[in-house]
Chains A and B, each alone.
Chain A
Amino acid sequence: MTLTTAQVVFCYFAGASVISALLAVTRRNPVHSMLWLLALFLHVAGLYLLLGAEFLAVVQVIVYAGAILVFYLFVQMLLDVPGEEQRSRYSAHWPFAAAGGLSLAGLALLALSDGAFWLVPESAPPQPAHSDVRLPEYTGSLTDVGNELFRRFAVPFELASLVLLAAIVGAVVLAGRRADES
């Protein structure tokens, strides 16, 4: 079985994202965890590129790796948690959590493994069920994403801005309160 270059790159990104996710949830130092989370975000952005979702990859790098991760790091630095490094990383019930995660991933893999699981390129991409309406060739490019976002998804797009505004107000109200007022 020969792999194309894109498949080799996919294997690299997939393996690296699994490893960095594992390290992100198991490191003792929270800052190390967040840096592994950064590695995960960047590798997932690479996977988006391979899946033809360029705009999603750019948003992943800007919003997740740029904004959300920096926010996490700032809050971690703001918090006052003495003796965090000395305490155990996991709760007492961590074997149950491991069993839950393993069984979820294992069952999903089991369900997928009867199909074409290994790297065999499919002969033809399947058409959507409603293929009597001939869709224009969708490339995932910025033009397509913009057309969708400002036509069919214009109302959800505006609602998303409302959700973000509510989150901003909520964060300021929650975090800006002094301790003696509460």
Chain B
Amino acid sequence: MIVVPMAVVLGLSAVLFGIGMFGFLARRNIILMLVSVEVMLNAVNLSLAGFSRQWNDPRGQMLALFVIAVAAAEVGVGLGLIIALNRNRSTADVDDLTKLKW
């Protein structure tokens, strides 16, 4: 049973990825940049699940599962870094994190 053609799934995935990319590049708040990364990861996982269905091959789902595991690790380290940053500078703004700049 194929509900929709693969191209529709890929197009939805591309639109979601574009939204996440805009958010990552445009937002100031560093936490919301990480939120945008989550949107992009979901877009890629969606296309992987679609490929898995299309080619009748479980490897796509496996890859999506590992992407989820690595995303969990990324969130743990990323948010730990944000907490460490926030302890030194009371801000969540990437434009304020200029300690290396003279």
Contacts and interface: CB of A to CB of B under 8 A. Distances in A.
A156 to B, nearest CB: 6
B5 A7 contact: no
A75 interface: yes
21 contacts: A14-B12, A17-B16, A18-B16, A22-B19, A37-B38, A51-B53, A56-B45, A59-B65, A60-B68, A64-B42, A78-B86, A81-B90, A81-B93, A88-B28, A97-B21, A104-B18, A109-B11, A120-B5, A148-B58, A166-B73, A177-B87
Contacts of B15: 18, 105, 109
B97 interface: no
Interface of A: 4, 6-7, 10, 14, 17-18, 21-22, 24-26, 30, 33-34, 37, 40-41, 44, 47-48, 50-53, 55-56, 59-60, 63-64, 67-68, 71-72, 75-76, 78-82, 84, 87-91, 93-94, 96-98, 100-102, 104-106, 108-109, 112-113, 115-122, 125-128, 135, 137-138, 140, 144-145, 148-149, 153, 156, 160, 163-164, 166-168, 170-175, 177, 179, 182
A126 to B, nearest CB: 7
A137 B1 CA distance: 12
Contacts of B20: 21, 25, 101
A105 B97 CA distance: 30
A121 B3 CA distance: 7
B11 A145 contact: no
A20 to B, nearest CB: 9
A97 B22 CA distance: 5
Interface in B48-99: 49-50, 52-59, 61-62, 64-66, 68-77, 79-84, 86-88, 90-95
A26 B72 CA distance: 23
Given A105-B15, A179-B88, A153 B42 contact: no
Contact of A80 (B7, B36, B55, B90): B90
Given A10-B3, A18-B16, A112-B11, A97 B64 contact: no
A119 B17 CA distance: 21
B79 A75 contact: yes
A24 B19 CA distance: 9
